[in-house]
Amino acid sequence: MNSAASEEQLTGRLSIRVCPDDERLIRRATKLSKAASISDYLIRSAVRQAKSDLADRTEFTLHPDAVEAFYAALDRPAAPTPALRTLFGKKTVFEQ
């Protein structure tokens, strides 16, 4: 298993219900994979998908030539737009 679970003791527990067609599909795929069990197959699949989903939202890469332009854009103050003025003119949830 290529996850933190391979180095740690498995103590967490997830319980899922699936329709019969999905269960048959998962069992079939488990047999064809190198997974030791259905749990192993599901964990590997879920961890792979979770990493992909999170990477799409938390990480990005830049070509080395674009790094300086990116840093410059981060350092540049935001242009005051009407929407920004409206937003900052409202009371926060703490002020209401």
pLDDT, residue 9, reads: 81
Report yes or no: 40 and 1 within 8 Å, Cβ to Cβ.
yes
3-state secondary structure 4-60: HHHCCCCCCCCCCCCCHHHHHHHHHHHHHCCCCCHHHHHHHHHHHHHHHHHHHHHCC
pLDDT digits (tens, 9 = 90+) for 34-86: 899 999 999 999 999 999 989 878 878 899 999 999 999 999 998 889 999 99
Report yes or no: 43 and 5 within 8 Å, Cβ to Cβ.
yes
Above 80 in pLDDT, residue 1? no
* Residue 81 DSSP code: -
- Per the listing, tokens 């935001």 go with 78
